[in-house]
Amino acid sequence: MSERSERHGLVQWHSTTIIGVKRGETTVIAGDGQVSMGNTVMKPNARKVRRIGKDNAVVAGFAGATADAFTLFERLEKKLEQYSGQLLRASVELTKDWRTDKYLRNLEALMIVADKDNLLVLTGNGDVLEPDGGIAAIGSGGNYALAAARALVDYEDDPEQIARKAMAVAADVCVFTNGNVTLETV
């Protein structure tokens, strides 16, 4: 599902856009559905955003290799069980494992996760980042979606509308992103 390129030690993921928008008591995570292999679209309607955890109280979206993302979803679900649904604690413990475990540190993905209280970006470097201004985006179209969402927050209060409009901008600009959007709200 992804292509990865490194330039000066920085990893850039291709083939997807995931955005998280938190406004007030509502958080939305949205992702496109395009699966690309090189310059070929293999599938237009993949679900890169899903609900996990007890009572589906957590929403997670991924950019990166599909198998790696599913492994991380499963690991995060186990951590959520272990820490009684506490997303922040489960995320910290997952990223510790992700950074130090010989198998997990080879996984190539980024995640945006959210529950009713938190919006977080998780990385294999051990980072658990709470985005500034309640907006986070990852993937090849992430910077386009992030810029669009930041511009919209002054004019739009509804996080779903912000996410949808930001995804539309990313789909118009990024060739690895399409307009088939999956959106989940917590």
Active site residues: 16
What three-state secondary structure class fits 88? helix
Angle at 110 between CA 104 and CA 111, to 5 degrees: 105
The DSSP call for residue 127 is -
Cα distance between residue 164 and residue 28, in whole Å: 10
Rounded CA gap, 177 and 163, in Å? 14
> Are the CB atoms for 182 and 30 separated by under 8 Å?
yes
Closest CA to 141 of 149, 133, 130: 149
